[in-house]
A and B are shown apart, each in its own frame.
Chain A
Amino acid sequence: MDVLTEAYAWLNDPLNWTGRRGVLALTVEHLRLSGLAVLLAAAVALPLGIWLGHRRRGGVITVVAANTSRALPTFALLTIFAATGLFGATATVLAVAVFAVPPILSNTFTGLMEVDADVRDAARGVGMSGGRSLALVELPLALPLIGAGLRTASTQVLATVPLAALVGGTSLGSIIVQGMALQRYGQVVAGALLVAVLCLAVEGLLALAQRALTPAPMRARASRRRRGPAPDDADATTPAAAPDAAPARS
């Protein structure tokens, strides 16, 4: 267990925490890139998902997007973007954002599609226009699923950003990649622990935030959805049909 001692020593060295390439600076950069990527993806996926869901069509697009993003390796897109001359951070944010679009898109779409047809009818019946019905009735009802999509995307982005270290991006992954290059396995283990802890911590925080923001009556429904498709769901067997099935891995 010599490596663990080394990792412990690395984590205990204040010089590794401060400075331009220190843990603190890298964590901030990691979070900044992740935040930008999620914002960028949301800026594309939310309007599109809301529009498609409101019009009640375009399910094929969301399924194709989800399937393609599963089959296309994140590392491939990172490499392609990095090779086209985009510099570190831009290439990273763009590549990672592409993979954050499908979970947000399909959850937003499904959330709006799942709004009870009777509720929509009632909204139209009391004289609401399509836009008002969307803003006041459909969107609030879809919020739990949209939130779940954003959470899935955020966790996924956070886990993907370290990969960019392989092609010149800066993040907590840089500690791991540098450690591998120098064969300092203590540093590798320390870096891997830091990345894992960051991901688990943010995932936990987002879960709490989602719980706090979901109105109490909707909690049961939302938690049931997150656990996966209902067993009697006819589509439960088609892999892409479940919006909250495991996201693309990276």
Chain B
Amino acid sequence: MSAVPGSVVAVTSPHVPSAVLAAAGDPAANPWLSWDYVQRNWSDISRALEQHTTLTVQAVLIACAIAVPLGMLAHLRPRLAAPIVGTSSVLYTIPSLALFTVLVPWTGIGRTPVLIGLVVYALLVLVRNVLVGLGGVDESVRDAARGLGYGRLRLLLTVELPNALPAIVAGIRLATVTTVALVTVGVVVGYGGLGNLMFRGFRNNKYHAEILTATLLCLALALVLDLFLWLVGRAVTPWARRGREA
């Protein structure tokens, strides 16, 4: 497959060819966990990890930049809500393998088709949560703001949006974790971050350590980003914590 850097495999993978393994007759020669593998291939692994992380962060940021205004628009004009959520639901149903590859003829192989696909998938989660958050604002709070003479836009920006923050942050967390897992599929267009390692490990005589290391790093990355966003969520909504403690 041209999309996969097959030549790199031969150069950088240090492990023994399968013929030698078979000759040695040692089943333990292909362990699932190998610190030795991590040490010898650290530059490779860190490059994949960096690719994975930057793709995730970039995709979620772009999706946020689109979803928050879109959600606010749908909130202001309820008639637009159904088409916006409906369209993103239909897009969400399309398998990632199809979406990533169908863009290739126009974008070429590499980062762009993966990024576009990731943004599309993150959109549905985010738009839905922005809408739920804005719709869930206490009616009496809205009334109070209106009574103070707030206009529609000011009400949205200074009252509804801060009140919707917990739901929006929850959406961002969900979208981030989903995106981390989804990046691996990018391997089909040669840009899958840790997915590239998994695929290479599979093609390279089923090199177990390479596959499992990449999988565990994926899980760890999802966990770290989720924790980070949880902390950010706590920091931007100090009133929620105070309310609970009181």
Contact = CB atoms under 8 A, between A and B. Distances in A.
Interface of A: 3, 67, 70-77, 79-80, 82-83, 155, 158-160, 162-163, 165-167, 173, 176-177, 179-181, 183, 185, 188-189, 191-193, 195-196, 199-200, 203, 228-229, 231-232, 236-239, 245-246, 248-250
A171 B199 CA distance: 18
B174 A70 contact: yes
B125 to A, nearest CB: 5
Interface of B: 1-3, 90, 92-99, 101-102, 104-106, 121, 124-125, 128, 132-133, 135-136, 166-167, 169-171, 173-174, 177-178, 180-185, 187-189, 192, 195, 198-199, 201-202, 206, 208, 211-212, 214-215, 218-219, 222-223, 226
Given A203-B93, A239-B170, A231 B136 contact: yes
A221 B174 CA distance: 25
A213 B80 CA distance: 30
Q: Is the interface of A mostly helix, strand, loop or mixed?
A: helix
Nearest to B206: A83
9 contacts: A71-B218, A73-B198, A75-B184, A166-B188, A176-B98, A180-B188, A181-B3, A192-B98, A237-B169
Nearest to A181: B1
A239 B132 contact: no
A76 B214 contact: yes
Given A162-B98, A176-B98, A246-B178, A76 B215 contact: yes
A122 to B, nearest CB: 32
A239 B202 contact: no
Contact of A180 (B1, B92, B198, B202): B1
A-B interface, 6 closest residue pairs, ranked by CB to CB distance from nearest: A231-B136, A192-B98, A192-B102, A71-B222, A159-B95, A3-B105
